[in-house]
Amino acid sequence: MKKVVIGMSGGVDSSVAAILLKNQGYEVIGLFMRNWDASLNNDILGNPTLNNNICPQEQDYNDAVAVCQKIGIPLHRVDFIKEYWDYVFTYFLDELKNGRTPNPDIMCNKYIKFDMFAKEANKLGADYIATGHYARMKDGMLLRGIDDNKDQTYFLSQVSKEQLKNVLFPIGHLNKKEVREIASKYNLITAKKKDSTGICFIGERNMTKFLENYLPNQEGDIVDIDTNKILGKHIGLMYYTIGQRRGLNIGGYENRMFVVGKNLDKNILYVALGEDNEYLYSDSCIVTDVNWLGDEKINKCTAKFRYRQPDNDVELEFIDDKIIVKYPQLVKSVTPGQACVFYLNERCLGGGIIKEVRKNNQKLWYL
């Protein structure tokens, strides 16, 4: 009997994934990862409100215990707090300091879930590792999950070919409704549990208050890029991303002005009027930290520049360890620091991190 070690998050997706694996005849072992020390901060510093004196992370663990007991599999617990801090949270802070918009969930998959977790699973004698991601593996290829609304290959784009060997995604062929129906059929405590939001394993918290513990606020001017008029004050460039319109607090302009750029040297946040303002659009970008999963390099495919974004037709030019991505039809709010993920129909070809955004051969965003 083949042994599978599955990451149990305390959510419905991993719960159902474990059931399906057991029904398929595998020896299934659950492994819960603790990646953040909730005691580092208290509620005043931005932690989620405690529920019955149990922090959300501990509640997730208790739910994972209940599910594993219900379906009759063992559950182990491992701490990756230091590793998460070193490889994910430090990256997150560094990107914010440099004015970019990071995606820690992608780095969590690369360094924690499919690296540290896999090593721990090997200690337990795993033949395979599994997660509750909405994705599929076929003939060594990473494919989109069947549920377009839940497909998570975007977040797996930095996981290497080697890391994807011997990986199972048991729910990739299901949609969310079907997953919850299975959980209800087995009367699992997670069947109606709300999906987690917020940053992976840090959870739902007041991000502004939370970041104040690690990065000092530097108030500066909000400037209309067309008129050069000062419209108000921002609370720190790290709290804003390209295309954002809410939370600008600039009086009568609320919901009509959009963030279009940042000047780190002068600590200026640039905004422009209208959701179709020309400053929001670009025609190419430079992508670095490339993780290519395709069999060979190609020059035409589609790409997503943000999760849930529709596919965009792109042309690729590989230069050394980077890719120049061209999209002459123009794409809105392509943002430095975010992932650019490549697809050929249902296959995920990998991706990289957007280093620079351009239009008419000019660098945008004034970073």
- Radius of gyration from C-alpha coordinates of the chain: 22
Tell me phi and psi for residue 261, to 5 degrees: 180, 170
d(CA 29, CA 17): 12
* DSSP letter assigned to residue 92: H
- DSSP symbols for 184-222: HHTT-TTTTPPPP-SBTTTBS--HHHHHTTTS----EEE
Nearest to 346, CA basis, from 193, 153, 201: 153
At residue 88, the 3 state secondary structure works out as helix
How far is C-alpha 234 from the geometric centre of its chain's CA atoms?
25
d(CA 21, CA 13): 12
**Residues with Cβ < 8 Å from 111, sequence gap 6 or more?**
83, 87, 88
Q: What letters, b where the CB count within 10 A reaches 16 and e where it falls short, cover 104-116?
A: bbbbbbbbbbbbb
Q: Where are the alpha helices (DSSP H) in the chain?
A: 12-23, 56-71, 81-84, 90-97, 104-108, 117-123, 161-164, 176-185, 207-211
Return the bridge partners of 137, or none: 142
Sheet with 27-34, side-by-side order of all strands: 75-79, 27-34, 3-7, 128-130, 167-168
Q: Where are the alpha helices (DSSP H) in 100-140?
A: 104-108, 117-123
At residue 181, the 3 state secondary structure works out as helix
What are the catalytic residues? Answer: 108, 200
